[in-house]
A and B are shown apart, each in its own frame.
Chain A
């Protein structure tokens, strides 16, 4: 081999980004962009707090229901019949050692159990709906952006149409229209499915637009031409060259879409088209709390705080993730 100039020596070692200056680096080794993002994320305390809260919430939603009391069991003995509110406790909420978050007015059902079971519904609906939006949005966006022309035109106009759709009204109407037992589902299974489909199916244009825009710019990068000049098919370019570069926006947008969907699910439950009572849901609890908030304010504050903390944690984590994955967007 005719030795080409400049044999790579120690000067060719990669320069880690200055952001990593404080990171322990006894041995410099190759780091993927994902590893660098993780190092950045680890230094962002706020985002990390959000991430921890999110993980705890997910854990609660999965295993919590096995540890709490029966959310449907009545404890009428804890209710003050005169005012139809829990006896004693903080602000007449019935908070005690047995019921750390108090009991429900009227029925005396354990609030902790209802919040934990509500978390399961909330996260289930929002995760599935987000997954659906992201899958549809990514496929549509990447197709529109990569192929352009009339394909782009059709998909983009479809996005406009979906965005103009009165989603809330449609959801309320649809829940009323879909008969029990449709699609082989009934009761809460059907309700949850309808919620997921409605929320998921009508939210895809938001991520679709982002992915389309990113694809438009990625398509012009020379590595796409390089792949094509080596004989790559469209499917290879789309899934092996472009899609890996879209992981960051997809991930970030997903974590920011989940809290939106949690709020949306709560709103639908609040309006009475969520899961069917007596199955607990955060939005449903708020509905019940509205007429009696003056006599038992904790009954409104507790589910409200549950929604607030969940949404805030997801948002903080999502923001941190965006900063970590794409520092230029800050």
Chain B
């Protein structure tokens, strides 16, 4: 490896301060081509992610929720550049990393790590724990001060594993322990941002809590920023500072955690939240479960305008003709709906307002001007 270890290009810019955007995603999209015939002609495209914009502030946890197939994992993989975006922009610490070659990207990978969903598939069964957790040092050509083995053992201890398990193989561990090994691997290089793709969904509920708490402890201790991708709303509520809700390749609502869970604006968010089980049977009575009709439409041919109109109980003609932009409807609360709930303004009004106020782009800007 020829990459210098002392200085990454990111060091040259001013370090990102707490609360400032560490990661900004603008109109990011991924279309997977569908080919047919001998010449592999493209006949269609799966619009897995179709223009999402959000930003992650340093030190916060952004939850990305949505049902399976809505593009949340694809978004995570694009941020990690494991998938190349079809369009859009990813800005990490002020540097556009969308078009960087894998070689140029390598130094940034130190600051950008990923926790994977399946602890059984994310650890190479032929490698010892020491080799797995030590791999980032080798790949990034980093010398640990006290030697790689010592460094790895410290990290193992940090995630609650016995450092003496250094020479063991992944198959000797339980699912929760394996996920801890995966977390240890991402922490090896002291990253700034961790994309956690369904970090606990493959685990037992009892173990889920341990891993989620571990992630939170590590965040405090190591000053981490998380993008947590999940479909479990309770997990997201527990861990996130802000939550973005995705539906069919688009973000439909972004808000502070408490704001989103208490005053969801988008009908889809309402429907999702109404599906969260309430542990206390006595309280179940006074809640109405919103049952959406039908399935999620195919991302091959998503509905025009508002993508949710085919299943929305509030849909009117405008929803089929004009796409509602993602705009701020109350401070820190963005939603993309013509007829939002829990608010007096509608997106359409906000658009009209944005149109007369120059300098505020309504739809593409992740952080609309106040």
Contacts and interface: CB of A to CB of B under 8 A. Distances in A.
Band of interface residues on B: 35 or more
Interface in A194-224: 221-223
Interface in A227-274: 227-233, 236, 241, 244-245, 247
B157 A1 contact: yes
Contacts of A177: none
Contacts, number: 107
Nearest to B215: A4
A233 B168 CA distance: 26
Given A226-B185, A229-B109, A230-B135, A4 B213 contact: yes
Contacts of B174: 12
A14 B162 CA distance: 12
Contacts of B168: 14, 30
A8 B136 contact: no
A230 B158 contact: no
A1 B158 contact: yes
A33 interface: yes
A177 to B, nearest CB: 38
A221 B169 contact: no
B140 A4 contact: no
A4 B160 contact: yes
B160 A222 contact: no
B221 interface: yes
Given A14-B173, A229-B109, A241-B124, A8 B82 contact: no
Contact of A226 (B167, B173, B182, B218): B182
Interface stretch (B11-19, B43-51, B113-121, B254-262): B113-121
Nearest to A224: B124
Nearest to A28: B172
Interface string A9-49: 00010100000000000000011110000000000000000
A164 interface: no
A244 B125 CA distance: 9
14 contacts: A1-B157, A2-B221, A4-B159, A4-B214, A4-B217, A12-B165, A14-B172, A30-B165, A32-B169, A222-B117, A229-B112, A230-B185, A230-B189, A245-B124
Given A1-B221, A222-B118, 12 more contacts: A4-B218, A7-B160, A12-B173, A14-B171, A30-B169, A31-B172, A32-B128, A223-B121, A223-B124, A225-B82, A226-B122, A232-B135
